[in-house]
A and B are shown apart, each in its own frame.
Chain A
Amino acid sequence: MMSFLDTIDQYQDFDTDAFFGRVTEADVRRAIGRDRLGPLDYLTLLSPQADICLEEMAQKAHRLTVQHFGRTMLLFTPMYVANHCVNQCRYCGFNAKNDLHRMRLTVDEVTAEAEIIAASGLKHILLLTGEDRSHTPVSYIRDCIEVLKRYFTSISIEIYPLTEPEYRELTEAGVDGLTIYQETYNRDTYAYLHPAGPKRNYRFRLDAPERGCRAGMRGVNIGALLGLADWRKDAFLAGLHADYLQRSYPDVEISISPPRVRPQLGGFVPEIEVTDKNLVQYVTAFRLFMPRSGITLSTREAPRLRDNMTRLGVTKMSGGVSAAVGGRSHCDETGQFEIADERSVAEVAKMLYEQGYQPVYKDWQTI
């Protein structure tokens, strides 16, 4: 069966650092000027040298985004329904070894949480859990979907990787979007960061977005968690992964998120600092590489950065966020990570209007 792993293997012996060593300013300008960028053009824009052309990249990213998406920003919010987890991801607050109050919302609690969120006008919801098939089996996810369908017109999931039939079960139940991050594409780092649990299986996770595409998802959102490994290499492979999926499944809307590691219970501190400037370079380079793909910026980022990145290629933002289970109806739970932008949906919408952008609350409905 086809897999993005074949592409990763192709670049296995590619010396990215040597490539970066050869990139000149002229190469960067040539890549920015192209109508269609190839993988190496994209890598050129991710190089340390591209830093000096950041304003030009930003201008083009802005132009392309307005052209393809208009002056609009889709709004959504995450809803954590459980934090049970059998994995031991070193960077995650839900790590099985962490001393955390574990809980799973009942159907009534999901309803209460949904009511609060729906009152903000949002119609797009992202349902999240940890990875624990005994506490949160697919049947439980389906029960949650049945509740959420009554309040929202578009339901995405960010849960543990499923098999294709399981994904199909959920798309048939009303899920239309899948978010799943590879965390890092570097296989050695991946093995180190995931010392125990089913998440150790790199390949099963890597192919999950593709299984989702085949199972009828309308939108699939992928990404690398920046700060776990060399961000330039992860950004490159995340971009190629998106390109691979979009070419293989043209009827699915493929998008990316560029999340950065945040402080969390467990205290993991990334060895690699990914600066605001790096993040902007990644997002603008990706926009030039894939002009029509969505880019999501979460509340892992602070208000000032989010406000300024509205014009730099981002097409989807969260608001009124809690990263804790039942975070809106229970108030004292510990979240998966600390969020950096605590503004309500209305406050994010107001900011967007002030910037000349239309907040879009609804962009799909189950048909």
Chain B
Amino acid sequence: MSDALKIGGKELTSRLFLGTGKFASNKIIPDVVAASGAQVVTVAVRRVDMAFAEENILTYIPKDCVLMPNTSGARTAEEAVRIARLARAAGCGDWVKLEVISDNRYLLPDNYETIKATETLVSEGFVVLPYMSPDLVVAKRLVEAGAAAVMPLGSPIGTNRGLKTRELIRILIEEIPLPIIVDAGIGRPSEAAEAMEMGCAAALINTAIATAGDPVAMGRAFGMAVDAGRTAYISGLGAVQQYASASSPLTGFLG
């Protein structure tokens, strides 16, 4: 049975999404993509420079990847919408990872502006994957607004702190009928695997891969971890037992 992830009319076999903002050189990106198996790659529109081929990050994104421009730098819904339109006008397609951040201390997303921008961008035909602070009510609003997925943070961007928002993400997985893609905060492959075991549809990783000593090998490790976690999820994990099974059951007398 196929376990493809369907988003925006695409069928994805890899559930690892790759961020590109922190590599020592863009030239390494194709190798990381190949080693990790990632099929969706996000790129900050603010960094794209069409006029400078050698330094233009788009030059290094393999053509068979789904390009997902992101609105990094947007502080309001209006700015995010303008950045998304610029990306589309530059030929980057219809997918957009929506980021609206008005707080430079923690880089936490502005959920309210994110909902507003989602509504606008969906009405303009974008495939919108909004980055958000995990909150059930906000996620429901994003569903209503037409988001293609919901991308809650595991912990603040770049912190490598793992799934600090575990319980809130669990609620989103249970209640929201869209793919839940954990985005930001994952520092180790084991944490990506855990997110996938919980039922996340995919994981987006940047810092942990880009700043690793060997980004290509770390990309491979994350690819395997995401696969392992997904496989475990669809295989049905055994229930966790609080105690060992008693050899003399208390209800044995009932026959």
CA distance in complex: A121, B53 (Å): 10
Asked if B46 contacts A121 (CB within 8 A), the reply is no
**Contact with B159, one of A67, A72, A359 (Cβ below 8 angstroms):** A67
Q: Does B158 contact A (CB under 8 A)?
A: yes
A69 to B82, alpha carbons, bound, how many Å? 24
| Option from A121, A251, A365 in Cβ contact (under 8 Å) with B103 | A251
Residues of B within 8 A of A353 (CB): 25
CB-CB nearest in chain A for B48: A362
Interface 0/1 of A325-367, CB less than 8 Å to B: 0000000000000000000000000000100111111111101
Residue from B83, B103, B104, B158 having most chain A Cβ neighbours under 10 A: B104
Contact A361-B24, Cβ < 8 Å, known A68-B158, A121-B55? no
Known contacts A246-B105, A367-B79: does B211 contact A360 (CB below 8 Å)?
A: no
Digitize A227-255: 1 where CB-to-B-CB distance is under 8 Å, 0 elsewhere: 00000000000000000001100111110
By secondary structure, the A interface counts as loop
A64 to chain B, nearest CB (A): 10
Given contacts A121-B52, A353-B25, A362-B49, contact A70 B207 (CB under 8 A): yes
Interface residues in B, total, Cβ within 8 A: 30
State whether A67 and B207 are in contact (beta carbons under 8 Å apart), knowing that A251-B102, A367-B86 are contacts in the complex.
yes
Question: Which of A66, A356, A362 makes the CB contact (< 8 A) with B46?
Answer: A362
Q: How long is the Cα–Cα vector from A292 to B86 in the complex, in angstroms?
A: 27
Is A168 at the interface (CB under 8 A from chain B)?
no
Check A363 against B103 for contact (C-beta < 8 Å).
Answer: no
Map CB proximity to B onto A52-88 as digits: 1 under 8 Å, 0 otherwise. Answer: 0000000000000011111110000000000000000
What are the residues of chain A within 8 A of B23 when measuring CB–CB? 70-72, 358
Give bound CA distance, A89 to B63, whole Å.
56
- Bound-state CA distance A367–B82 (Å) is 6
Contact between B104 and A253, CB atoms less than 8 A apart? yes
Q: Name the distance in Å between A233's Cβ and chain B's nearest Cβ.
A: 25
Cα A215 to Cα B249 with chains together (Å)? 73
Contact indicator per residue, chain B 198-218, by CB within 8 Å of chain A (1) or not (0): 000000000100110000000
Distance, CA A321 to CA B207, complexed state (A):
32
**Is the beta-carbon distance between B83 and A66 smaller than 8 angstroms?**
no
What chain B residues lie within 8 Å of A254 (beta carbons)? 104
| Chain B residues near A365 (CB-CB < 8 A) | 45-46, 86
CB-CB under 8 A from B207, the residues of chain A are 67, 70
A123 interfacial contact with B, CB 8 Å: yes
- B24, B52, B104: the one within 8 Å of A250 (CB): B104
Size range of the chain A interface in the assembly: 20 to 34
Would you call B107 an interface residue if the criterion is a C-beta within 8 Å of the partner chain's C-beta atoms?
A: yes
Which residues of chain A have C-beta atoms less than 8 A from B6's C-beta? Answer: none
* Residue B165 at the chain A interface, CB threshold 8 Å: no
Tell yes or no: B164 within 8 A of A by CB. Answer: no
Q: Which of A67, A246, A251, A363 contacts B211 (CB 8 A)?
A: A67
Given contacts A67-B207, A70-B211, A363-B46, contact A358 B105 (CB under 8 A): no
> Using Cβ atoms and an 8 Å threshold, which residues of chain B touch A253?
104
> Which chain A residue has the least Cβ–Cβ distance from B52?
A121
Distance to closest chain A CB from B204 (angstroms): 15
- By a CB distance below 8 angstroms, the chain A residues around B210 are 70-71
A contact residues around B52 at 8 Å (CB): 121, 361-362
The reply to whether B25 and A358 form a contact with Cβ atoms under 8 Å apart is yes
Nearest B residue (CB) for A153: B49
Q: Are A70 and B22 in touch, CB under 8 angstroms?
A: yes
Question: By the criterion CB–CB under 8 Å, are A72 and B22 in contact?
Answer: yes
> Is A358 a contact partner of B24 (Cβ separation < 8 A)?
yes
**Nearest CB to that of A67 among chain B residues?**
B158
Interface string of A241-272 (1 = CB under 8 A from B): 00000110011111000000000000000000
Q: Which of B22, B73, B103 contacts A71 (CB 8 A)?
A: B22
CB-CB < 8 A to A357: which residues of B? 24
Residues of B within 8 Å of A66, CB to CB, are 22, 211
Q: Which residue of A lies closest to B206 (CB)?
A: A70
Q: Which of A247, A363, A367 has the most chain B CB atoms closer than 10 A to its own CB?
A: A367
CB distance from B81 to the nearest CB of A (A): 9
Partner of A367, one of B21, B22, B83, B103: B83
Q: Give the interface centre of A70, A356, A365 by most chain B CB atoms within 10 Å.
A: A70
Binary contact readout B1-31 vs A (1 if CB under 8 angstroms, 0 otherwise): 0000000000000000000011111100000
A365 vs B56: C-alpha distance when bound (angstroms): 14
A69 to B44, CA, bound (A): 13
Output the nearest chain A residue to B21 by Cβ-Cβ distance: A70
Nearest to A349 among chain B residues (CB) is: B55
12 new A-B contacts, CB < 8 A, other than A254-B104, A358-B24, A363-B46, are A67-B159, A71-B22, A71-B23, A247-B105, A250-B102, A252-B104, A358-B23, A359-B55, A360-B47, A361-B49, A362-B48, A367-B83
Q: Tell me the A residues contacting B by CB distance below 8 Å.
A: 66-72, 121, 123, 153, 218, 246-247, 250-254, 292, 353, 356-365, 367
Can you list 14 A-B pairs with a CB-CB distance of less than 8 A?
A: A66-B22, A67-B159, A67-B211, A121-B55, A218-B73, A247-B105, A251-B103, A253-B104, A292-B104, A357-B24, A358-B26, A362-B47, A365-B45, A365-B46
The 3 A-B residue pairs with the shortest CB-CB distance in the complex, in nearest-first order:
A70-B22, A71-B24, A251-B102
